[in-house]
Structure 1
Amino acid sequence: MGDKLGPVLWQLPPRFKADEKRLEALLVQSSTRPRPSRDEVGKFKVKSGKSAMLAFEFRDPSWFDGSIYQVLRKYNAALVIAESGGHWPCEEVITADFTYIRFHGEGGSYATSYTADELKIWAKKIKKWQKAGIDVYAYFNNDVGGFAVDNAKMLIDLIR
């Protein structure tokens, strides 16, 4: 995918308990892959010597721990912020020079739309992270009502 590759998502199942050694082994193996970065006009290019952008969505609460965050930071890998109205565990911890937000919908139902007020809260957070130099990747899950596209457009407008 060359210069088009953004973060690669690793979503671990709810029954997969934290394993710091296994996580670090995966990150060591991945650190040899080229990592894209933005050039001065915002287009992606590949910088040699940088690892691929990896984002981890943990669904077992045991992963939400300072020692896991340290491993992620060591390899510049992102802890996914999984917004699901409390259905999945979620902590807004930045562990890399980018963050990855997944909007799953209220209760993780994949069937609801976000309100403007809900997205305003996220827009404020995203602006803060961007101001701090954090690249933000935000994804809305495809949903049965087709709300994802409208929600994404609304969030973009709120960030601008």
Structure 2
Amino acid sequence: MSGRETVSDRIYVGLSGWGDHDDLYVKGTKPADKLKVYTQHFPIIEMDNSFYAIPSPNKMNKWSMQTPDNFGFIVKAYQGMTGHSRGKIPFSDMRTMFNVFKESADVLGKQDKLKAVLFQYPPWFECERKNVEILKRTREWMDGFPVALEFRHRSWFLPEYREKALQLMRDEGWIHSIADEPDAGVGSIPVILESTQSHATMIRLHGRNASGWHASGQSNWREVRYLYRYNAEELEEWRRNILLLLNSTEECWLIFNNNSGGDAADNAKQLMKLFGLESGPEPVRQLEWE
């Protein structure tokens, strides 16, 4: 299927988190009201606060109640579940941690608002047999939940492993989370335009700030890493990529994660307009400039 007029109901564009995008909110908007305002702009969101702490079911239900029935959440897996915490977890064991997380995410699942749980593994999670076993165990423990998988170590997509990694995702039921990020060595991955599940493919656009990608030792590394604004040519490139992916997957979910300079919302709306999607109100900053 191709053509801008035929794909609008199969493309979902959103942002990572709802608290950092000041352009979306008038001055004085309360933090508790931001998610509700966000839904006026985008139909999907990546919940990133779940990476730092597992929300309670009550908190998850409260957030869900602020969104319309057709809204979608991609919930980022807690850092202890992906190895980012290097084994330090505030639970008695790994299985308990997974069960607590599933109880929380299931609130959205029962309300038909859970698109997927995103497992983004750290840069030191290499293509090794022990890590393949971790992926299989994780998929088993997340049985009944839709899951997406994003790597950060390039070894998974080296020529000798690429097809095996993709086939693993297909066989185990992982939605491929395609990353757009700078070419910055083994701690980054190339764009791999492959769908692994027929119902959905995820794309996360992190920006292409190569010089800031390895700023982990700096106190402001998060701000530096994701400081990037996509230009018109790069967004057009992604329009073409998405049309290609839609030949092999029913839906594409795009999450802009270039949050540091306030560019994510603007870029997301630009891409939506390329597809003729309803992009909601203009960002507050843009209105102030007019």
Q: Is 1:95 aligned with 2:196?
A: yes
Per the alignment, residue 68 of structure 1 pairs with: 165
CA distance, structure 2, for counterparts of residue 106 and residue 129 of structure 1:
21
Which residue of 236, 258, 261 maps to 1:145? 261
- Higher helix fraction: Structure 1 or Structure 2? 2
Call closer, same or farther: CA 1:119–1:53 in 2, change over 3 Å.
same
Partner of 1:106, secondary structure, is: coil
**Alignment TM-score, normalising by the size of structure 2:** 0.45
Q: Secondary structure at the match of 1:7?
A: strand
- Alignment match, 1:157: 273
1:20 corresponds to: 132
Give the distance between the partners of 1:117 and 1:80, measured in 2 at CA.
Answer: 22
Secondary structure of the equivalent of 2:254?
A: strand
The one of the two structures with greater contact order (alpha-carbon pairs below 8 A, sep at least 6) is 2
Aligned to 2:8: none
Q: Tell me the distance in 2 between the aligned counterparts of 1:67 and 1:129.
A: 20
* Distance 1:143-1:134 versus aligned 2 partners, 3 A rule: same
Q: For the residues of structure 2 that align with 1:136 and 1:15, how far apart are their CA atoms?
A: 28
The aligned amino acid for 1:119 is L
| TM-score for the superposition, normalised by structure 1 | 0.79
Partners of 1:132 and 1:58 in 2: CA distance: 21
* Alpha-carbon displacement from aligned partner over 1:80-133 (angstroms, at most 9, x marks no partner): 211012232122222112111111111353111111111011011112322444
Task: Extract unaligned runs of 5+ from structure 2.
Answer: 1-107, 214-224, 277-290
- 1:98-117 map, 5 Å: 98-107=200-209, 108=213, 109-117=225-233
Contact 1:126 1:159 in 2 (8 A): no
Quote the sequence identity (%).
33
Q: Is 2:113 the partner of 1:4?
A: yes
**Paired residue total:** 141
Q: What one-letter code is carried by the residue in structure 2 that aligns with 1:94? A: S
**CA offsets 1:10-43 (integer angstroms, 9 cap, x no match):** 1111111222222112112223x2xxxxxxxxxx
What aligned pairs does 1:42-61 form with structure 2 within 5 A after superposition?
52-61=145-154
- Where is the strand percentage greater, Structure 1 or Structure 2? 1
Specify the code of the residue in structure 2 equivalent to 1:96.
Q
RMSD over equivalenced CA pairs, Å: 1.7
